[in-house]
Structure 1
Amino acid sequence: MYARYGDPRMKEFVSVEFDAIPELVSDSEFRSFVEAYISEGCFADDRAEDVVQGIADVRGRRCPYPVRRMNKMLTSLQQGERLLVLTDDPVAKIDIRHAVRANGDYLRCAAYIGNFDAFLIEKGRAHDGGVWS
């Protein structure tokens, strides 16, 4: 059974704490290279290519597709590699945070840019697509 908004079981959900690594990428750098990717279709900054090993651009897709796509792409990455997820689905931005935590991955950065959310997720322990696949 699924918990609905207002259901007392919703308090069981906990927020994800960010595992910020300042030397990896700052919030302003993250915003700038995501904005550059959106406007140019590629990363203008070479440093961004070192930070991101995969991109899941799921804007325009609705839940559960964004989380499933994220999990599928994470299975192809090695531990420690990072995935950039772009979504405009308001439900996905909640589900992504929970899936990251449940799968043992790390949410390194998150930002609301324009009309979509961007997440930088680092693959943690090896997993087979996670509990949200």
Structure 2
Amino acid sequence: MRTNWRIEARIPTQDLARARRWYAEKLGLEPAEERDGGLRYEGASGVFCLFTSAGASDGSFTQMGFYVDDIESTVADLRSRGVVFEEYAGAVNGIMDIEGNYPSKGRGERAAWFRDSEGNMLGIAEVIQ
């Protein structure tokens, strides 16, 4: 396996303009690049692209995740922007403690999930050291 490959996520959209507005209004993100049928976003350590697609995700799994330093304040900020978090059994204020998940990143993580304007499942997580 090559370790020098750049990895980028691809997220399908039915309505690219609607998705662009949602990512700007709800997550405060603006594309670094725009092409016909697609938008490219760059983060501190990763890239994702929104693209126009005839297909759609069923939203039953996490398609993309963001790591944050403080999940409580991030959830509060996103809620103030109108993001609606999924509620799962065992979650407190929409946040779940996941012990032993991704052991290469600490002993677990605290995580929360939400859907974008296109129904794609997105997650945010804070590593538990």
TM-score higher than 0.5 here? Answer: no
Q: Which has the higher strand share?
A: 2
TM-score interval (norm. to shorter): under 0.3
For normalisation by structure 1, the TM-score amounts to 0.26
Q: Which has the higher helix share?
A: 1
